[in-house]
Structure 1
């Protein structure tokens, strides 16, 4: 039916099963109470601004993912998604990567129905950082950074 041999289908099933066991369905994208989310955003902002490795390490899950969406030639950002706590930690605590963002003013605002971070430079929105928390709401599963000017016009 799918154009694959029986043994190939068994192998695909085995790989998918291992992947799902490592990252249970529904672990990310679970809504956390607003107070928990706001506290997480405040801790993230403090750790990000201070390049605090231990603070950021405590915030990220083992399978953390960072996805950035820049503006091509206008705004340069991280090109490929970064998966894994070690890589995401290195990007978020680096003194060179996202250095300009640290000089911008950040505020917690309602984006897509949830509290997230908006970064402004002289009143102009330059970036939006959205966090997807783990089911418990105690750690960050995914970080989505939007810096493309055409995508920030409505914020």
Structure 2
């Protein structure tokens, strides 16, 4: 069916919210974009005169598309090379969605998106719609074709699975830069003691190269081991620059609501290193260097004012 200009406007008004929901459900900006586009195709093909509440209809269609994608994505991750991390999204991107509450900010952090992999597909949908977007259990039940009491049970289970996750420290661009500068100074000092002081006892470092860029096949755990690993990682080396394809230039940024470093090589975003800052210290360092997961961050970076670099080798 032909879509009128007004009907296109209805969809485009909903697009930012749909993208934000899909990103939290899938942990992938590119997959979220595809899911939203598929939702538009369903909107285009539907008898829109019979749709009383477009927002509810679009949310239901998108959610079911994401449920199907979650199932296939988890099957693909069983053969994924190395550690899997969500795709980073830089500050200012509408895909991050609402950030007014602690729950909304936490729901989009790399750490939380990774932790949500523990949830079943339905648990993840219920948790995201409830925590990040404030949907009532009755509304979620309508989306998933469940009873309201069933949704409440699923939500309780999801909360229990995520109960051990810690609260993050909210940061603005200035605070993020200060944290990143302190972290980088410690990493470049050639000693581990300064880094150890910044890390939590159970700190973890995870890298995702997707089999395309070298990264450790398993996480580094414990603050002393993480500090030693980071000291080596940030030690300048001509051999490293050769493997990377050029000398890196580091910038401070905010990615998924947390302090981050954007690694630029030859004018392209070659990595995003996110620092999961909790009230106890830095609990995780997530390094996304898989080129296939940096396209949207690269576009966002190119269109933004990112200031002077922190370090250039």
With normalisation by structure 2, the TM-score equals 0.37
Alignment RMSD: 2.7
Please tell me whether residue 107 in structure 1 is matched to residue 251 in structure 2. yes
Q: Residues 192 and 224 of structure 2 are in contact (CA less than 8 Å); yes or no, is this contact kept in structure 1?
A: no
Q: Secondary structure at the match of 1:32?
A: coil
CA separation in 2, counterparts of 1:40 and 1:130? 11
**Structure 1 residue 150: Cα displacement:** 0.3
Does residue 30 in structure 1 map to residue 168 in structure 2? yes
Are residue 148 (structure 1) and residue 290 (structure 2) matched? yes
Distance 1:68 1:130 in 2: 10
1:82 paired with 2:220, answer yes
Instruction: Extract structure 1 runs of 4+ deviating beyond 6 A.
Output: 95-98
Tell me which protein shows more helix as a share of its residues. Answer: 2
For residues 68-88 of structure 1, give each alpha carbon's deviation from its aligned partner in whole angstroms, at most 9, with x where no partner exists: 10130x211111011111211
**In structure 1, how many angstroms separate the alpha carbons of the residues matched to 2:288 and 2:226?**
16
Q: Could you tell me how far apart the structure 2 residues matched to 1:80 and 1:98 are?
A: 23
Bigger Rg, structure 1 or 2: 2
Greater strand proportion: 1
Q: Aligned match of 2:263 in 115, 119, 141?
A: 119
Gaps of 5+ in 2: 1-162, 298-313
The one-character-per-residue Cα deviations of 1:18-59 (angstroms, maximum 9, x if unpaired) are: xxxxxx9343x4133334433221111122233331221221
- TM-score, scaled to structure 1: 0.70
Deviation of residue 128 (structure 1)? Answer: 0.7
Q: Do residues 129 (structure 1) and 273 (structure 2) align?
A: yes
Inter-partner Cα distance in structure 2 for 1:122 and 1:50? 25
Give the 3-state SS of the residue equivalent to 1:78 in structure 2: coil
State whether residues 32 and 135 of structure 1, in contact with CA within 8 Å, keep that contact through their aligned partners in structure 2. Answer: no
Q: Is the 8 A contact 2:274 2:286 kept in 1?
A: yes
- Give the structure 1 partner of residue 191 of structure 2: 52
Cα shift readout 1:101-127 (whole Å, capped 9, x = no counterpart)? 794111012322344110011211111
C-alpha contact 2:177 2:253 (8 A) present in aligned 1: no
2:205 alignment partner, SS class: strand
Q: Distance in 2 between matches of 1:152 and 1:98?
A: 23
In structure 1, runs of 5+ residues without a counterpart are: 1-23
Contact 1:26 1:135 (8 Å CA) reproduced: no
